[in-house]
């Protein structure tokens, strides 16, 4: 048994021995992925609408659930793994994560700078009343 045998996405056709097993296993994998995605979505709605958690922890909980949801989609539906034949997929995913992180961090920095440079509300009201 080789290491690549264990580094396969659930339902990957090259890891299966015959066509019949591939069809039933593929449906099972997609069903498991759908079940996990629905469960994570339901938990996300529950976390967003409950008062059982500290208000600051809700955003952290939703972030963790969103990352888990992305992981389910990548593994069960897109079949992205770290196997040698999927190196390009993993590199594309890493590049996408880098770009999203740069956009989010850049947007936060720009918004913080704009907030610092805005005129205070009291001065703005005085200017409007003078005209």
Write out 28-96 in H/E/C secondary structure.
HHHHHHHHHHHHHHHHHHHHHHCCCCCHHHHHHHHHHHHHHHHHHHHHHHCCCCCCHHHHHHHHHHHHH
Burial class (CB in 10 A: 0-12, 13-18, 19+), 106: exposed
Domain limits, the chain: 1-81, 84-131
pLDDT digits (tens, 9 = 90+) for 60-102: 899 999 999 998 998 898 888 777 777 788 888 889 889 999 9
State the pLDDT confidence band at 19, using cuts at 50, 70 and 90.
very low
**The pTM is what?**
0.59
Are 74 and 82 in contact by the 8 Å Cβ rule? The answer is no
């Amino acid at each position: 048994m080789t290491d690549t045998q264990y580094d396969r996405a659930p339902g990957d056709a090259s890891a299966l021995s015959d066509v019949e097993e591939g069809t039933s296993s593929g449906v099972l994998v997609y069903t498991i992925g759908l079940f996990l995605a629905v469960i994570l979505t339901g938990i996300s709605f529950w976390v967003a609408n409950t008062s059982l958690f500290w208000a600051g922890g809700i955003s952290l909980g939703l972030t963790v659930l969103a990352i888990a949801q992305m992981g389910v989609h990548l593994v069960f539906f897109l079949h992205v793994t770290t196997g040698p034949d999927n190196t390009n997929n993993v590199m594309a995913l890493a590049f996408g994560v880098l770009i999203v992180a740069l956009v989010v961090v850049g947007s936060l920095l720009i918004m913080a700078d704009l907030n610092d440079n805005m005129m205070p509300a009291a001065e703005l009201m005085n200017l409007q009343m003078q005209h």
